[in-house]
Every structure is written in C-alpha cells, then in structure tokens.
Amino acid sequence: MKFKTFAAFVGPSIFMMLLFIAAPLLSVFIQSFQETITIQEQIEVETCTPGFVTQTCTTEIKTVPVLDDNGKTITETRWVGLQSYQNVLQMDKFWEAVGNGSWNDIMQIDFWKALRFTLSFTLLTLPLVIGVGLLIALTVNNAARSIRGPVIFVSLLPFIITPVIGSLSIYWLFVGDGILTSMMERWTGTNISMFAQAWTIEVLMYFYRVWHVAPFAFVIFYAGLQTVNMDTLESAVIDGASRWERLRHVIIPHLMPLIVFIALIHLMDCYRVFEEIVGFRSQAHVISLQWLTYDFMTPDDAGNRAISRASASAMLTMIGIVFLLILPLRRTWRDHKGSAH
C-alpha cells in the first residue's frame, strides 16, 4: 500500500484521537500542576442602623473578589507543582493512620476510601463477569437450535439497557418498600434497609455490574465457541476426557485470547465506575475515584471548582488503569510474539 493511501485512511483517525484524546489529556496533565485562585481585596464596609438621632454606624473590613470592567471575577493561575496531588492523597494523614494501625482513619480520607472501593469493585467483578459470561455461552451453545435465538435475545437485554437506568432499576427494587425488600421483610419478619450500610450497597453494585456486563462476555465467548476445533474435541471424547477436562484443556485454552480481551475491556471500564454511585445514591457510604473527580468539579457555595485537584484525581485514576492493564498487556504481547515466530 502506498504511503498516501495509508495516510488517507489512517490520517482522519489519528487527527481525531489527537484532538479528542491527546489534547484533553495533556490539558488535564498541565492543570494538575496549576491552581487557579480568585484575586481578592480588603475593603471597608460601613453599616448603619435605622434612625436619625439614634443612628449608629460601624465599620468593618471585608474580603471581596476583585471584579474587572465587565463585572467578572478576576482570577490568577499559578504553578503549584505537586501540591494538588498532595491535597488529594493527603499522605500526612495517611501515614499517621498507618502508624496508628487504624483502618477506619484511612477510610476517612476520601481518596483512599474511593481507591479501596474502586479496586475491590474492579477485581471482584472481573472473574464473575468472565465466569458467568462463559457459563451462559456454553449453555446456549449446547442448547437446541430452536431456542437459541430467544435465549440470546433475553441474555442481551441487561447489556442493552443504559447503565444509569439499569442501576436505578436495581435501586428501586430494594430501596424503602421496594418489591424485593418487601418480599424479604415478609419472609424474615424483620425490617430490612439495604441502603443503610456500605456493605449491602456494595453487594448490590457487584450484582448489578455482573448482571449488566456478563452479556457482553457471553457474546464474545459464544462467537469464540463457534471456532473451536471439533476434531480436537472428538479426539478428547474418544480418549475418555470428561466434560470438565474438555473445558479445561481444550475450550479454555482456545478462548484465552478472548478472555484477555474481555479482561482488558472490563478493567478499563470498571475502574472508571461512576454510574453505580449515582444510580444507587451511595455517596454517603461508598464513593469511587471517578465520582471523586466529579465531586471536585462540583461548584461550592461560592461557585468555585477545585479544577487542580480534579485534574490530579483524574491523572491518578489513569495511572491506576495503566497499572491494572500491565499484566494482561504483557500476556497479549507474549502471545503476539509467539504467533509471529
């Protein structure tokens, strides 16, 4: 292929990636080392009580923002180095809590609280998504052809639903006098509040994520099962291999590239968990790194946003994703080099 032809096909994609991915990422990286503050000044304000004879006036010093000719607040951007990262990580409080051996004190720091949940949510749901997706794929692959279509359609419904709508649906089933909560209360004879403590909220979040993402794994695995070498399977049956042995030694090795692919997608997507926090309204008990970045960007009472801390939190989130992807990417690279030779 000529270079001009190659550039004509690849050029637009590269341009869009630079414009919508590289440029914003570079901007966030730079902003994480900067801080924008409002320029303020002190002025004397005189306050007088009503009346003519008995009127009294007091003068006090107030700090107010400086406005330009158009009435807008004047701000100043300055370099602060790693200060924004220190404000997010709060390492002084972290090491003090570690020295005291207090896990509760560590969980009082927003970043470490969010990191704990994000890692738990990502790593615990990964094997469940792969296992449930593979189980559904094997079931559908072994089912009669007449029912495969309806089963595939029903299995894909959770993945089609918008994430926020799906999480809200689970939330409404359990919140207050929701249908499932009412059923459990009648069965146990006790009052149940699924959203009064953190661990029950997390269990519901894990359930929702597996319910929502497992259909994606199912589709990938089902497609991979259609390419399994039937001669190898028949040879294993002749040799007396059980169904579990055929799954372990024939099917899973054949699907391993797809397992790595699903793991990569899941790690990248799940580490940025946000919809569940909003859908389950769990901010009082459970937060994630992505929600923490959003919280920094929420204006305070004065209308200010902690852009520098939000940028630092976003960069730390991206670094975490990179670390999680190292192992599956190394395996993919080894498999690629092995196939090339």
Contact, 120 vs 174, CB < 8 A? no
Residue 136 backbone dihedrals phi, psi, to 5 degrees: -65, -40
Q: What is the pLDDT of residue 302?
A: 62
Dump strand ranges (E) for 66-199.
Answer: 75-79
Q: What region does 213 belong to: left with phi over 0, alpha with psi -120 to 50, or beta? A: alpha
User: What is d(CA 285, CA 196) in angstroms, rounded to the nearest whole number?
Assistant: 8
DSSP conformational letter for 70? T
Domain that holds residue 174: 103-340
For the beta carbon of residue 195, count every other beta carbon within 10 angstroms: 18
Please check whether residue 56 lies inside any domain of the structure: no
Please check whether residue 86 lies inside any domain of the structure: no
Q: Measuring CA to CA, how many Å separate 204 from each of 139, 269, 277, 279?
A: 25, 18, 11, 11
In order along its 341 residues, the chain shows pLDDT tens digits of: 677 888 888 888 888 989 888 898 899 999 899 887 777 777 777 777 776 667 777 788 877 777 777 777 777 788 888 899 998 999 888 998 988 888 888 888 899 999 999 999 999 999 999 999 999 999 888 887 878 888 888 888 888 888 888 888 888 888 877 888 888 888 888 888 888 888 989 999 999 999 999 999 999 999 999 888 888 888 888 888 888 888 888 888 889 989 999 999 999 889 988 988 988 888 888 999 999 999 988 887 666 778 899 999 999 999 999 898 888 888 778 776 766 55
CATH number at residue 137: 1.10.3720.10
Longest dimension (CA), the chain: 112
Please check whether residue 274 lies inside any domain of the structure: yes
Q: What is the pLDDT of residue 121?
A: 93
User: What is d(CA 17, CA 13) in angstroms, rounded to the nearest whole number?
Assistant: 6
Dihedral of alpha carbons 233, 239, 242, 247, sign: negative
Q: In 3-state terms, what secondary structure has residue 76?
A: strand
The total of structural domains in the chain comes to: 1
Instruction: Give the up-direction half-sphere exposure of residue 261: CA atoms within 13 A in the CB hemisphere.
Output: 11
Please check whether residue 95 lies inside any domain of the structure: no
Ordered DSSP codes for 163-191: HHHHHHHHHHHHSTT-HHHHHHHHHHSS-
Q: What is the pLDDT of residue 329?
A: 83
Please check whether residue 193 lies inside any domain of the structure: yes
Please check whether residue 259 lies inside any domain of the structure: yes
Tell me the residue type at 315: M
Instruction: Give the up-direction half-sphere exposure of residue 214: CA atoms within 13 A in the CB hemisphere.
Output: 22
Q: What is the pLDDT of residue 313?
A: 92
Q: What is the pLDDT of residue 116?
A: 93
For residue 13 the two structure tokens come to: 């994609």
Q: What is the pLDDT of residue 175?
A: 84
Q: What is the pLDDT of residue 117?
A: 94
For the beta carbon of residue 213, count every other beta carbon within 10 angstroms: 25
For residue 171 the two structure tokens come to: 């939330």
For residue 137 the two structure tokens come to: 């794929």
Please check whether residue 235 lies inside any domain of the structure: yes
Tell me the residue type at 197: Q
Unique residue bearing structure tokens 């852009």? 307
Please check whether residue 25 lies inside any domain of the structure: no
